[in-house]
């Protein structure tokens, strides 16, 4: 073996040892810093982050719209079956209407009417849109009441009642699809323009307090579970079945 080869190998070993020490020192320094072992996202070891802490008022309202849209899916499937000769468990419609009443109308929309809409009106921003949204909330409540009165076991034996229920379901869907879309894409994003960052955060906390007061700790999760169970009674819980062939 030549002298040149020995020198070359010795150099490689020396460099490797130096790198090892450098990396070890860097890791030790990082561990010694406060929060050095923090997980991505800033959470420290042993620190449990509450899931609601990251949800702002806009996201909170939008995910509640997700529950509404799943109700619209149930209503659409029920209307389709009412149009044909197929019978189904009409209690699915009744349960959905109850969920709309408790979670959407008496909670979600009430928050919008008491907390959100007044801020836009005071700021003189999107006032015309807010006026239409308020009117649609009232129209939705009247439609829900009619749906609850029509969605009874004998509906399949009464052609006129069947027709009326299908019409009410279609009317509810026709109004709430653009209603929710306009809030998600116009109203909720504009909230940032009329409140400060601290006010925006405070709104999120207020929404959370309201949810816990009305439903307990898991109001949203409970609503999702309810609509999931309703979908299963109609056999429409599998998302893959909606994929075009």
pLDDT of residue 53: 53
Give the residue-averaged pLDDT of 226-233: 96
- Give the Cα separation of 133 and 127 in Å (integer): 10
pLDDT of residue 43: 42
| Length of the chain in terms of residues written | 245
Average predicted confidence (pLDDT) for the chain: 83
> Quick check: is 68 in a domain?
yes
Which residues lie closer than 8 Å to 93 by C-beta, 6 or more apart?
74, 75, 78, 147, 151, 165, 169
Nearest to 103 by CA among 211, 242, 238: 211
Give the residue-averaged pLDDT of 80-101: 92
pTM: 0.77
Residue 83, SS3 per DSSP: helix
> Quick check: is 238 in a domain?
no
- Give the Cα separation of 2 and 163 in Å (integer): 98
- Give the Cα separation of 176 and 68 in Å (integer): 8
Which two tokens mark 54? 């990251």
pLDDT more than 90, % of the chain: 70
> Quick check: is 83 in a domain?
yes
Nearest to 112 by CA among 189, 176, 58: 58
> Quick check: is 18 in a domain?
no
pLDDT at 98 over 70: yes
Least confident of 14-18, 69-73, 112-116, 197-201: 14-18
Q: How far is CA 122 from the centre of its chain?
A: 27
> Quick check: is 97 in a domain?
yes
For 143, how many CA atoms within 13 A lie in the half-sphere containing its CB? 23
Q: What pLDDT, in 10s, does the model give residues 27-73?
A: 444 444 444 444 344 444 444 444 445 678 999 999 999 999 999 99
Band the pLDDT of 176: cuts 50, 70, 90. Answer: very high
> Quick check: is 42 in a domain?
no
What b/e readout covers 57-92, taking b as 16+ CB neighbours within 10 angstroms?
Answer: bbebbbebbebbebbbbbbbbbbebbeeeeeeebeb
Q: What pLDDT, in 10s, does the model give residues 117-146?
A: 999 999 999 999 999 999 999 999 999 999
pLDDT of residue 82: 93
> Quick check: is 80 in a domain?
yes
Nearest to 175 by CA among 85, 100, 88: 100
pLDDT of residue 55: 78
Q: What is the DSSP string of 212-238?
A: HHHH-TTHHHHHHHHHHHHHHHHT---
- Give the Cα separation of 72 and 44 in Å (integer): 42
> Quick check: is 243 in a domain?
no
Nearest to 116 by CA among 59, 58, 67: 58
How many domains are contained in the chain? 1
Q: How far is CA 32 from the centre of its chain?
A: 40
Task: Give the CATH number of the domain where residue 190 resides.
Answer: 1.20.120.520
Q: Which domain holds residue 216?
A: 54-233
pLDDT of residue 51: 47
More confident residue, 85 or 17: 85
């Amino acid at each position: 073996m030549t002298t040149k080869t020995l020198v070359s190998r010795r150099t490689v070993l020396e460099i490797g040892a130096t790198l090892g020490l450098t990396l070890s020192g860097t890791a030790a320094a990082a561990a010694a810093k406060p929060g050095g072992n923090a997980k991505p996202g800033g959470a420290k070891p042993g620190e449990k982050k509450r899931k609601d802490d990251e949800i702002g008022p806009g996201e909170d309202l939008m995910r509640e719209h997700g529950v509404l849209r799943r109700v619209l899916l149930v209503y659409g499937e029920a209307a389709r079956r009412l149009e044909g000769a197929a019978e189904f468990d009409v209690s699915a419609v009744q349960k959905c209407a109850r969920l709309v009443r408790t979670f959407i109308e008496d909670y979600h929309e009430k928050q919008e009417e008491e907390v959100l809409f007044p801020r836009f009106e005071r700021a003189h921003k999107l006032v015309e849109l807010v006026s239409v949204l308020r009117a649609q909330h009232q129209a939705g409540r009247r439609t829900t009441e009619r749906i609850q009165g029509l969605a009874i076991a004998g509906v399949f034996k009464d052609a006129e009642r069947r027709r009326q229920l299908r019409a009410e379901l279609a009317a509810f869907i026709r109004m709430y699809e653009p209603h929710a879309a306009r809030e998600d894409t116009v109203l909720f994003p504009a909230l940032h323009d009329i409140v400060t960052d601290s006010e925006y955060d405070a709104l999120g906390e207020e929404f959370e307090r309201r949810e816990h007061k009305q439903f307990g700790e898991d109001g949203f999760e409970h609503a999702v579970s309810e609509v999931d169970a309703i979908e299963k009674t109609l056999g429409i819980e599998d998302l893959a079945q909606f994929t075009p062939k």
